[in-house]
Chains A and B, each alone.
Chain A
């Protein structure tokens, strides 16, 4: 079946340290992956994405790593700040290969930054 899951449901990090949030996916046909940040009372906010033909992509203070061999995705946040406290979702998009296009979200990881 299709599933996207997270290894760690909660993560506490000291301000200034690096954070790593992990995600496992089971559908090898997925070709596009996205990380979203969701703050309380708000909709998910796009952080960074990566296509299956890449294994690493960097943004501002964030890096996404994709390991297709073990179907693993990770989000690294450098120099974590209090404003990074939120729930982080990984999501996979099955793309145009299937009969319809959709994004499947994982259950989320709550990141708490300790000042």
Chain B
């Protein structure tokens, strides 16, 4: 167990809807990163938060947004869901600002129909 928990574990949404995914970081970790993993592919970096501020962003449209809270838990929000958003969404927490020694949660499997 990594101490990083994500909820929900599975989710089905309809195209056009909005979704919020949640991540609870490992104790003592102030950096959280979110990744999208399509079936059969490696995780793709979405963005990273350090102490409640966005610290970097990958090649994802603005309808992917996030938050990090004072207790370092985090949310990933996706608006106007598209079929291609169906994937495993992973969060990883780290105690270092550059995200090294990151530990992943088990992921949220999102299916958009």
Contacts and interface: CB of A to CB of B under 8 A. Distances in A.
B98 A105 contact: no
Interface residues of A, number: 25
Given A46-B101, A49-B101, A100 B43 contact: no
B33 A103 contact: yes
B105 interface: yes
B48 A43 contact: no
Contacts of B41: 107-108
A71 B101 CA distance: 22
B79 interface: no
Interface residues of B, number: 27
B56 A102 contact: yes
B87 to A, nearest CB: 13
Given A46-B104, A108-B42, 8 more contacts: A44-B104, A46-B103, A89-B42, A101-B56, A101-B98, A102-B58, A107-B42, A108-B41
B75 to A, nearest CB: 17
Nearest to A51: B100
Contacts of A105: 35, 42-44
Contact of A103 (B4, B55, B102, B103): B102
Interface string A91-114: 101011001111111111000000
Contacts of B97: 96, 101
Contact of A42 (B35, B48, B106): B106
Contact of B107 (A32, A43, A95, A101): A43
Contacts of A106: 42
Contacts of B4: 43
